[in-house]
């Protein structure tokens, strides 16, 4: 492995970087390079005889009319966003709860985004809507012009199916909007540089009155420039209304304030690293990422749930006793919480399998009981109606199509109301869970999906993420089943440290200077897969996106001998410059600060871009990104591809979509095309190498 060529470990690269010009997102020179790369990759992969059928299969499954319409109930209606072959950009629509439960619901279109795009000649991508309590008729609709995170906001009236003439409207930005009341919008502002944090997110919260200009909105709360962001939300608890303000210091720490009727912003005397919060029956329910001793000497532990009387604190200023809802348990972590009017639901992961418990508060005490949901799969809370009693749950695993289990009575009575049809033949397949021993001895769980009668090594895809407390859970994927598993190939999903599979400690074990632990975990899983005879190194491909793209980029440069193909999607790769590419500064709590010598030392030790080695025997590589990605800058993937190619690694392909943002939102056709190209790439690289 070569030493970093363009910087010392204690300094970030500047103009010494020969491919710095590729960071200019829309420059003619950069886009010319992108166009040439795309031509090569499209010719190579879309020219493969198997591509067209793979593309059509992917598109058909992504836009199938019998896909589950996942929805959330509010005031007697279920709301859903839907895309298919006809509705390419999608419909925001609703139906009654009773109709939703039928085989063919009677949907009422709220906004037709294909029609809107035709009228305005902009391919608007729906980003969600904030609806006004209590009738939820007036909406603040977010729409992205290119699928990126920056969105325009417009006020919309569901009753008239139209945007409100002269109503609230704001240009595209990374700002946030929610209702305080019919004539007041809470704005988390990120319009100009004064409004933004260094990460490019909202820094100032303002109150914007109807019939006034946005620039005249009244500031009520500010964060520091170096903070990650601010946010605001109105929380209802029975007849009480709370305006919650958050100064988010980084991804894992915030100061939470309540805005009192007096106009004072009063900070809650609770730990900065609170997580999984909800206000329910006068109680603020919370978890913690690190142990915290409350004023009453209660020790709050990670992976537990606790509560304090927030109404009492507002009235008296005293935090009062801390109650325990849920005690931590080995390899059990909290995936999330949601509430109806009368119940609190807690989603749990028990050794990477889902469970849900329902909590009730009566006579000042908590009671918990499990919800009677299927076991040994991925169970989650699909929706919970805060002002009603409906709640729904999702169930899936690698071989079981997704289903929606609905309750109108707080989880007491359950009925499966939606089931996705099988998309591939799972009868010859088996799903298993194994463990690999990482370099430091930690046991790393992983899942394998393969043919039950597998006799020897086969082409195998290993997927990982390992960051930001995000867990990788079992899930049904029709496209993967049809384009990969049905061909006799295997799929592996690794639950490496850095993710959220086992709570905060699992994440923190690969945080900042400990990042190498997660990379070692992934390598250990790869080696274990080979040891078990599932694959050979040359028939094992890896794939990861975003932080997972960093994972596969590091895997390429540290262990090229372990893999036969590498897919690196919308990645971070230049870890000595990532904070210079907005919003990279927002991730310093995860990775570290490249401007600090100590942090730069560990970042430079693994940063893939600086470790490309001309002498290494790299397997085929496919890098993908999007010009419209305003979360992870396309410069990372562009520069890595250029450096690999310059170093003589001719089996490096690069593809950049022009729209869709970080998550590939919007038109399904480019998504299907890119998906098909990836499976063609894997099949070509790994076939006949088992």
Which residues are annotated as catalytic? 546, 662
Per DSSP, what are the bridge partners of residue 73? 78
Rounded CA-CA distance 575/639 in Å is 12
Rounded CA-CA distance 69/87 in Å is 14
Determine the 3-state secondary structure of 411 from DSSP.
coil
Neighbour-count burial of 337, counting CB atoms closer than 10 A to its CB (0-12 exposed, 13-18 middle, 19+ buried): buried
**H or E element, residue 278:** strand 274-280
Measuring CA to CA, how many Å separate 134 from each of 143, 157, 181, 269, 407?
Answer: 24, 14, 10, 31, 22
Rounded CA-CA distance 394/388 in Å is 19
Rounded CA-CA distance 627/25 in Å is 7
Q: Nearest CA to 321 among 291, 288, 298? A: 298
Contact status, residue 513 vs residue 469, Cβ threshold 8 Å: no
Contact status, residue 233 vs residue 178, Cβ threshold 8 Å: yes
* DSSP per-residue codes, 343-398: -EEEEEEESS-EEEEEEEEETTEEEEEE----SSSEEEEEEE-TTSS-EEEEEE-S
Q: Using the structure block, give the residue that is written with the tokens 């949601």.
A: 338
Q: Nearest CA to 2 among 595, 516, 578, 643? A: 643
8-state DSSP, 270 = S
Contact status, residue 553 vs residue 467, Cβ threshold 8 Å: no
Contact status, residue 636 vs residue 11, Cβ threshold 8 Å: no
Q: Using the structure block, give the residue that is written with the tokens 């900070």.
A: 267
Rounded CA-CA distance 571/62 in Å is 24
Q: Nearest CA to 666 among 126, 152, 172? A: 126
Q: What is the 3-state secondary structure (H, E, C) of 319-356?
A: CCCCEEEECCECCEEEEEEEECCCCEEEEEEECCCEEE
What are the backbone angles phi and psi of residue 347, rounded to the nearest 5°? -90, 130
Other Cβ atoms within 10 Å of 9 Cβ, number: 16
Contact status, residue 403 vs residue 396, Cβ threshold 8 Å: yes
369-403: b or e for each residue (b if 16 or more CB lie within 10 Å)?
eebebbeebbbbbbbbbbebbbbbbbbbbbbbbbb
Cα Rg, the chain, nearest whole Å? 25
């Amino acid at each position: 492995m070569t030493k970093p060529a363009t910087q010392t470990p204690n300094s970030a690269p500047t103009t010494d970087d020969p491919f710095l010009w590729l960071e200019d997102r829309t420059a003619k020179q950069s886009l010319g390079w992108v166009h040439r790369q795309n031509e090569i990759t499209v010719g190579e992969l879309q020219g493969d005889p198997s591509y067209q059928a793979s593309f059509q299969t992917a598109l058909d499954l992504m836009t199938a009319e019998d896909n589950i319409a996942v929805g959330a109930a509010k005031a007697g209606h279920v709301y859903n966003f839907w895309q298919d072959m006809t509705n390419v950009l999608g419909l925001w629509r609703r139906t009654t709860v009773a109709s939703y439960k039928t085989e063919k619901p009677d949907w009422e279109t709220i906004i037709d985004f294909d029609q809107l795009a035709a009228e305005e000649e902009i391919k608007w991508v729906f980003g969600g809507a904030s609806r006004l309590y209590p009738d939820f008729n007036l909406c603040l609709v977010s729409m992205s012009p290119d699928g990126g995170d920056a969105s325009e906001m417009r006020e919309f009236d569901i009753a008239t199916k139209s945007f409100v003439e002269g109503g609230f409207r704001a240009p595209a930005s990374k700002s946030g909007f929610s209702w305080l009341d019919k004539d007041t919008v809470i704005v988390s502002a990120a319009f100009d540089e004064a409004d933004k944090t260094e990460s490019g997110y909202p820094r100032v919260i303002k109150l914007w009155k109807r019939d006034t200009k946005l620039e005249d909105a009244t500031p009520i709360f500010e964060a520091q420039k170096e903070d990650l962001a601010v946010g605001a939300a109105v929380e209802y608890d029975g007849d009480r209304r709370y305006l919650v303000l958050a100064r988010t210091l980084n991804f894992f720490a915030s100061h939470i304030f309540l805005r009192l009727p007096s106009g004072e912003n009063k900070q809650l005397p609770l730990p900065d690293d609170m997580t999984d919060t909800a206000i329910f029956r006068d109680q603020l329910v919370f978890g913690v990422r690190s142990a915290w001793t409350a004023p009453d000497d209660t020790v709050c532990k990670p992976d537990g749930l606790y509560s304090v009387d927030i109404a009492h604190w507002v009235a008296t200023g005293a935090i009062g006793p801390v109650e325990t809802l849920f005690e931590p348990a080995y390899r059990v972590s909290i995936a999330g919480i949601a509430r109806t009017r009368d119940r609190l639901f807690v989603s749990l992961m028990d050794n990477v399998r889902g469970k849900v418990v329902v909590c009730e508060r009566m006579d000042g005490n908590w009671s918990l009981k499990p919800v009677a949901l299927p076991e040994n799969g991925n169970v989650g809370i699909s929706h919970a109606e805060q002002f009603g009693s409906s709640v729904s749950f999702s169930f899936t695993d690698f071989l079981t199509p997704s289903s929606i289990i609905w309750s109108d009575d707080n989880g007491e009575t359950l009925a499966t109301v939606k089931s996705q049809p099988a998309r591939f033949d799972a009868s010859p397949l088996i799903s298993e869970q194994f463990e690999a021993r990482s370099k430091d001895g930690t046991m790393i769980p992983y899942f394998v999906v393969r043919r039950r009668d597998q006799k020897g090594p086969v082409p195998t895809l290993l997927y990982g993420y390992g960051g930001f407390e995000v867990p990788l859970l079992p899930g049904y994927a029709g496209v993967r089943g049809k384009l990969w598993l049905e061909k006799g190939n295997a799929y592996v999903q690794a639950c490496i440290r850095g993710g959220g599979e086992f709570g905060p400690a699992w994440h923190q074990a690969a945080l900042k200077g400990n990042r190498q632990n997660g990379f070692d975990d992934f390598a250990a899983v790869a080696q274990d897969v080979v040891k078990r005879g599932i694959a050979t190194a040359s028939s094992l491909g890896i794939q990861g996106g975003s932080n997972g793209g960093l994972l596969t980029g590091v895997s390429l440069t540290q262990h090229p001998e372990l893999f036969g193909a590498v897919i690196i999607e919308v990645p971070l790769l230049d870890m000595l410059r990532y904070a210079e590419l907005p919003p990279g500064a927002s991730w310093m709590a995860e990775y570290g600060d490249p401007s600090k010598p100590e942090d730069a030392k560990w970042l430079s030790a693994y940063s893939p871009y600086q470790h490309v080695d001309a002498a290494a025997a790299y397997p085929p590589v496919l890098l993908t990104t999007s010009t419209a990605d305003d979360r992870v800058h396309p410069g990372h993937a562009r520069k890595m591809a250029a450096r690999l190619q310059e170093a003589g690694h001719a089996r490096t392909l690069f593809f950049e979509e022009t729209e869709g943002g970080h998550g590939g939102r919007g038109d399904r056709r480019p998504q299907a095309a890119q998906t098909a190209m990836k499976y063609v790439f894997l099949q070509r690289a790994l076939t006949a190498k088992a």
